[in-house]
Structure formats: C-alpha cells, structure tokens
Structure 1
Amino acid sequence: MSSYFEERAPCCGSHFWILLSMCWASVLFAAITSGLALGLLSFSQVDLEVFVKAGQPKIQKNAAKIMSIAKNEHLLLCTLLIAKSMALEGVSVFMEKMFPEWLSVLLAATILATIAEIIPLALCSRYGLSVGATLSPFVRVLMMVFFPIAYPLSKAGKGGELSLHETTIIAGALDLTQKTAKDAMTPISETFSLDINSKLDMHTMGLIMSKGHSRIPVYSGKQTNVVGIILVKNLIFCHPEDETPIKYMTIRRVPRVGEDWPLYDILNQFKNGQSHMAVVLKCGENIRTVATHTESKTPGHCSSVELGDYIRISTDASNWHSQETEYYSATLKSIMHREGDSDLLQRRSEQPDASSSFENLESLPTADEEVIGIITLEDVMEELLQEDILDETDQYVDVHQK
C-alpha cells in the first residue's frame, strides 16, 4: 500500500484518478475550515446573544446553533486550524504524486489561494452566520475528533492574557472619559456634614469618630450652603468639655465643580494637592468653566454673607482656585500657646489674622448655584477601578451590619 502512494501515478490511470479525487477533497476540506474560522469566530458571545433575543426568526435560529459551538473560542480555533493544516498538507502530497515538482507547487499555490482562501472568505464574510449554522454538526464532529490535540493547545499560553481585574481597570479608565461629576458624586442629602454654628461637644466628637471620615463639609443654615471643610486631624487639640464652636476651628476652602465636569479633569485637579474633596453644583453660568484653566479666578459675585458675630465669608463665585487653603482661628492660637508649639504659631502668624482670612473663605453658593452633592478623590478612584474602596472604618461597619 505504501508503494502505491510513493510512485508517481501515470496520467488517466486508476491511481491518478484516486489521487486527484483525494486532492480535491482536501482542497474542499481546507476551504470549509477556512470559511468556518471566519464565519464562526467573527461573532462574539454578546453578538450571538443579541441575535437570539432581538434578531429575525431565521437569524435567531442560526445564532442559537452557533452559540454553543463558539462558546469556547480557543478550542474551536485550534480545531479548525489543525484540520486546515492537515488538508493543506494533503493537497501538497497528492499534487506531488500526480505532477512534476515545479508544476505541483504552481498548481497547489494557485488552487489553495483561490479555492481554499479567497472564495471561502468572501462568502463567509457575508453569509457567515448561515454557513456556520448549516455546518455546525460537521464542526461538532471535528471538535470531537481533534479534541485530544486541540484541547491542550487551546489551554496553552493562558498566562499571557490579562486578568479580569486588569481588564476591569482598563475598561474603567476608558469609561472615565465619558463620566462626569454627577455620575460619581454622593448626593448632598446622603452626606455627613456639620453646621458651622455647632459645637464640638462630646456628642459631636463621638458622631465624627463613628463616621470615620477624614474630611467633613461645613455648612451654614442649610446643608446645601457648604462653606468649607474641616480636617478631622485638626480636631486632635480640641477637648469635648470646652465645646469649641466649629467656626473657631481651621476651615479649608472647598473647591466647586459643575455636575458636567469630566472625571478626568477632576482627577487632575485632585492631584494638585489643594483638596481631595469638592462640592458639585448644578450647571449654571457661573460654573461653566474649563477645568484645565482653573488657575485663573473667574469673576463672580463680590457681596458677602454674615455668619454671626465672628465670621464674614466672601461670596466670590470663583471655581477651583486656592492660594491659601487653610484658615487659622483665634481659639487654635490659644491651644498652641498652651501646648507650647511656638514654631508652628510663628509660621501661622505670617498668614492674615482670623477675621481677614475668613473673609477670603470659599464662597457660599449663590442663588443660581445649587449644591447637589460632594465628590472626593476616593469616588473618582472607585469609578476608575470599577469597585468599592473600603477603609478600616468601612470594614468595621460592614462586619457589624451582617
């Protein structure tokens, strides 16, 4: 039998016609596998699910047949490539037994390029769904026949793929360009904040500790009138029995951003280090500024608002600008005198006094600037990572809520 294939077959003999039939069968087999590789692998699982749920009846039927086969893309691809390689090799062998070497190479290259590549790809690029559904039983047989070889190959090289966590972060980074402050903010009604006229007594200090926040918004009158933020670490000198009013404490500017600001621009501003928290305002004329030009102050309202006998806050409707972001109070001066921190007091004394510094405090929202939420650096990073970031306090709360 081996000599039957080793000798060159004479033209028009029985041996010649057998080899010619096997050659054309191999060409046809290579054409089918080449077309199926394009027809079956050009549709993702999402595409097939859409076809099944929303396509026309015929398309739904064809997509349902293909879905189970195309579920394991690597196994399907390896199966079709192995089958195609065997068919191409068979064509070369059979051609060599029928024709001279130079003619067999020329015929094999021409026939394979035309019949096994160009024509199948042209047909399956347009009718891939129908062809794949029609030949799905044939593909199942191939997958069973070549499974011992195709399965190990389909599992090779898995270490080079991106993990789910990595792809999630990449997707979050791409989606971040389309998301705005409104998508990541915490609504003002759900925000923990303190009235500027409240006192740091035992109840308030305990409430601050239970919330676990590092920055707390300060409002005047109503919660939407956010005038600044206090850093919890600055309250370390306060004694609850003194019941120190919050308006005597160090208050920092709170930047204001529009609800339509892109999260990428907000992230760039947070990286400057001036603040890791910002107030989100409903879109209005006074806040429609480009985030990348926030170094210049935008002219706004120059009136002022009286907040009791101690503080007078300017309502300049500027956006994200702050050359002096921290404001020093008379009460903290006395505390540092008592603690003997003369160096820190000397550095603080170079800043304006308490009354003048409070005049420069970040503005209250004007009549057309409605505060709708608070956004922090953590909120932006959660949108980037596509998952919640839990700190020690979050973990503590979650455990006790179970």
Structure 2
Amino acid sequence: MSLDTTNLKILQLAGTPKQQKYATRILPIRKNGHILLTTLLLTNTVLNETLPILFDGIFCKGFMSVIASTALLVMFSEIIPQAICSKHGLAIGALFAIPVRILIAIWLIISWPISKCLDWMLGPHNGFSYTVSELKALIHLHDMTKSHSGCLKHEVSTILQNVLTMQEQTVDHLIGSDNNLLLIPSDTILSQSLVSEYISHGYSHMLVCEPKGSPMEEDSVIGVIALTVKEAYSNPVGNMKLDPYMKIGSSTPIADLLLQVVESPDFRISPFRKHDQVILVYRTEQDIEMVKMKRAVKSTASDTPSHKRSIRCRLKRCFGCTCQACSEERITTEEEKTIDNSIISAPTTIDIELQPGLVGMVTVHDILCHMLLIDRHDKKIHEHI
C-alpha cells in the first residue's frame, strides 16, 4: 500500500530494467487500492486473532499465549517488514504479487462490497498527481544550489519553473507598464532624426496603421517596421516594406502563444531570425467577460450548497478527497453568474478601461526573456538571441 500508483508509473516508464519489471507486476494489483486494502486488512485481522488461539493450545496458559503472539506479530508483522520494505519495498512487492492475487481471490466475496462502499464514500483510490505549483516546488528541491542531492543545474531549474508558469500566466503578464505603442499613419513621411529619437525613447518597432479610423481597432494595423533597420525614410511608411505580424487575445496563456509561434510557417523557415517576430495583443469581448466573471465570483459570497452538508461529501472532504458533485455545482454556479447580468456589479473605473481593441505588443524575444528570467531590455542579450 505504500507504493503509490504515480510512482509506479514513473518507474515503469523511466526506471531501471529491474524497476520497470517490478512496477509492471505490482501496478495491476495496486490500481484497485480499496480491494487491496480490504484484502490485506482482513488477512492481517485473521492472523492476529488466530495466533493467540494456536499458542493457547501450546502453552496452556492464556497470558503466555498472548505475550508470545504479540511478540511475534510485532517483530514479524510490524518491525521487520517496515524496516525491510522501506528500502526494498518494490522488490518485495513484486515477489509477493502472486500470493496477494490469491488472497484477493479468496477474500473477493467480502472485500468487493466493502471496496465499492469505500469508492462511493471516498471516491476511487487513484494515485497522487501534482499541481503546477507543486511541480515547481519539486523542481526547486532538485536544484543543485538548494540541495546537495540535487541533480539539476540552477539555470535548468529556473527555465523549467518558468516554462511551467507560462501555462498559467496569460499574455497580459508580458505587457509591461512601459509597453507604449508607436502607431504611425501609412501616409506619414519620417525623417532619420525622428527615427533616432524614437529609438532613443526605447521603441523597437513602428506599427503602420490606416490613416482613417481608430488605430486601436483590430484591422487598422497593416504592417510593422523594425526601427533598428537602417532604411531610407524618404517615402511614406505605407509604401515601405512592411513585416507581417501575429494577433493574439490578451487572455491566451503564454505557452499557447509560444506554440503558435513555433508552428507558424515563417518560424519553420527561419527559426533563428524570428526572435523579432511582432505579436499584437488584442482584448476581445470574450476576454472582458472573463475578467468580469472572475471579479463577480471573487466579490460575491457564494451560499453553501446543500450537497456540502451531506454525509458523503463531508467524508470526502474529511479525507482530503475531491467531491465530483461539488466541482460540477461550482462550475454551474459560475456559468449562471456569467449569464445573469444582475449579479455582475455596476461599471467601475476599471470596467470602463476594459475596452476591446489593441492592448500592447510583444515579441518572441520578450517570451524568451520571460522564460529565461532575464532583462528583455538588455541590448547585449538581444543581440545574442
């Protein structure tokens, strides 16, 4: 029972040949944890009750049989097995896989109904799975600079933790407070001195938009010009060679954005030249609704569902298990709050600022700097990437 199914699956995939062999033997038995638990406890109980009876016929004295059976049980059922199995539990578990199968078959008539009751009350006895935060902590513990037994270099540990964070963080986190957009109408003629001034103010790209209409609309930007490129600016910027750009929603996870960039045809042709690929971040109506929904759910105190007062739900929460009915009820409640406009609070200053349109701009270089946890404004790093 001390062998978790998650650890067994890890050993089955990445262990030594012996560990893979042992894990393959144990895993089918360990998958149904409640039947295994019931079988082992029934067997242990029968042995505990049988030994005093056997020794009573040998010693003919009640207290002697109790002392002898207790000593044997403590030594051979508790101390020695715990000491050996803590170090060689995998090999011993594989050795006794067939005897345990026989015991399961013997006790099946009794253990099966009990295990089904346990499944109903506590849920299936599944293996332990890590959350993103727990995986980051696990990687942090394997950092060589944090532990003498660590197997990961500090740089590798940092990159892995940042990659895991990218699954939860959205593109909004890449847009800093200094992310000012340089929007230029397509009929504008720029001078070299003006371009140099833009560069000195920290601008790296110029967004060329339609002369008419709002530049913040989704289809107003017609192309991008890198200000680092030395080019003659005698013609209107709309007649110059414009680089294409990507569009992404502000609530898109950074990991999904990076995947879209890697899968784009331009990146596949020249992956090492696309670190300057421009990605325009737009806030859509769906993003605004998602922000309002999160705010409404956070501010509104939810009533305790009647299901949470049931014995089954209380038992699951008592043993740290997740109640499926509560999860479904919570999801349904959040969906109802999204539909019901009366639940959403009145517009505030923040709500007024949540307008659809262009929010900011990021590049592949910004994503890589976020992943490597380095300063994206460092020019030396920019040149190396």
Q: Which has the larger radius of gyration?
A: 1
TM-score by length of 1: 0.37
